[in-house]
A and B are shown apart, each in its own frame.
Chain A
Amino acid sequence: MNIKQLISFLVILSTPTLTVAASPSIDEIIHQTNQMAYYQGRDGRAKVKMTISDAQKRTRTREFIILRRDEPASDDIKNQAYLGEQKLYVYFNRPADVNKMVFMVHKKINSADDRWLYLPALDLVKRIAATDKRTSFVGSNFLYEDVSGRNLQEDRHALIGADEQYYIIENTPVKADEVEFSKYIMYIHKTSFLPIQTKYFDKQGNLYKSYTALAVETIDGHPTITKSNAINLITGSSTLMEYSAVQYDVGLPDNIFSERFLRKAPRQFLR
């Protein structure tokens, strides 16, 4: 075997290895996606409009401002540095019956979330006992868990395919009896790691719900899904969620996520 042949042999041998190294591991994909979907920047704010349509095309709207602050300062997925406690503050503008109402969450990684609701007409700070994360968020087709994020450890993840644009990930629940789906399949955009479509399958294996990203904007260097749609194929209802006035690294102080600012909304971050 001469040198030339040895080199060509080594090149050929190493080709599959190179391919593997170029495509990230399943762990990297799901953490990168989780980070992109829920943890971009140290903090963030957005105006959100939900348009909920039923099968008869009657619509209801929800308008709110969402403030988010991550405890970890890092966005790095190495050693899961981005993961940690996260605080959410949701200030409702519309409809009229929820005007000025506030929903606050202290999201934990390893224990149950703490949630509060502020009812302005009664000046009441109520602690919410609800623990079910698969409850509809404000009556929409998005669930509480879709808004706040599902713990990655609650599912097993498998890369079941890939094409030029997407990694295709199948997620099956670790505790199947705690959820209504048997699996969900995510199409994750290869370069941005944004989940472009998620399809939910029921216990019989039938597709019953899907989420689709309809628009992405890059804001402060952060590719952000600014328009998405959730469709329930059984009820025929759907929810269009639109983000506007998105900002990252606003510099939200930690104390905004406290009783003080439930009773007295932090105006400068809600305009």
Chain B
Amino acid sequence: MNRAVATVGRDLGRILEALGGLLLLSLVVPLVWGEYFALPALLVSAIVPLGIGRVLYRRFQDAEAPGRFHGMIVAASGWFSVGIFGSLPFLLIAWSVQLGVPGFAVPAQTATLAAFTEPLNALFESMSGFTGTGLTMTDNEEVLPRTLQWWRTFSEWIGGVGVIVLTTAILSRPGSGSLTLYESEARSEKIHPSIVSTVRTIWWIFILFTFLSILVLWLAGMPIWGAINHGMTGLATGGFSITDNSIATYDSVAIDFGLLPIMLLGSIAFPVHYLILQGDLRNFYADLQTRWVFGYMGIGSALLWGFLYFGGPYETPFAALRYGLFQFVSAATCTGFQTAVNATNVALGRWPSYAQLTVTFGMFVGGAAGSTAGGIKLIRGLTLAKGIRHQIADVFYPESAIRRLEINGRRLNEEEASREFMEAAIIVILWITFLVVGTFLLLLTLPSGEYSLANVLFEVASAQGNVGLSSGITGPDSLPTFGKIAFLFHMWIGRLEIIPVLVMLRTIFKRGGFYE
């Protein structure tokens, strides 16, 4: 047996076991809400990944620890598998309601739930959830069974921190290649020398912040079920909602402003949270990324406020502030909650193009590396900006001058600066390339003249940045099949920062098998 297959199979098995465990845990929800018809579907959804995972793990448990290549394949295939098996609850519950379950009272089928009888729609919803995107195939989330509302929320909450981080925290043994896997999931920061301790710290911080977020929203006036779901998806910067018009449904200034710190918490790196909780409050301004989370959100929101008030659809400065600030923070933290909808004010898709492009820029950059946010990440944007300035300024110095590039308190020599600049540039170039190609292809497949270039660019950036804001294109009927498949790919590469997916695809298509 190929050693690489064994290593990948073993770790993939662990990930599927963890997913099965999460589904078993979710059985509490239909029991509490009395949705007994969902129990068989949820049980089968849990048993399938649990069984496959168990078989894979037992078969390959003595495999070697993963190297960098295996780590990338595990991350890419693991996230894709989680998307596939995570779609089972949507598919099976939708079919349970469609066909009925002997011995159980089943509610009437709705158009929203019926959309999930299509496997592609179920897969889209699952991938959107686990990648923390928040684009949805539902027309009206309110009519979904509570079990599915919960599964959407739970998938985003888990996905926000990371499937591998979860698996490492509960199933991994120290020294079993956890660091390699951890780094393959678009994370590199370490809080403690041990990676298992690091992920456990990430989890207690995340769980504590979840409780705080739920209580903030509830105190702001949200009903408790909404507060639980939106607190979890807001902190995970996922953006799934249980209401038809996202956060706009509540039409509450207190809730809008209460969500801002929750989304911001989600876009700050976990090591910084840890230091702040240890009492080192200087990190709010001493850490480059955290400083820029606030600076960049402030500048972007002010700009958007100006566009919306002076040249846009809002008549009062406060309305422009309320919707501009919320939508920019929601976009730049890659959450995707929406308050700008036609039902209460002016939908995002009807904002002036320059305002939409400002929001698109926010989605492109995203939050801090090491947080739950998507996009290219602030540190890469800052590395590129500083690197370009460094290169240009180089012309004004004598050739013999020794210059160092300073990033986040680190003084990099020529070689280190070149390497970091190149790594950031590769990700950004790939990100832009996929954004442009995706926009072009979606323009070709959408009905001619129905959506503007700004609308399409916005939607693709939203999928790839794992944001979830929509200009109205995404939906079970409005998005063509090709668009759904393309968006699955955008969400997948966006979550893993592209490289692991390309490595896996190259392995599959070029070599036709695994490397030895």
Partners in one complex: no
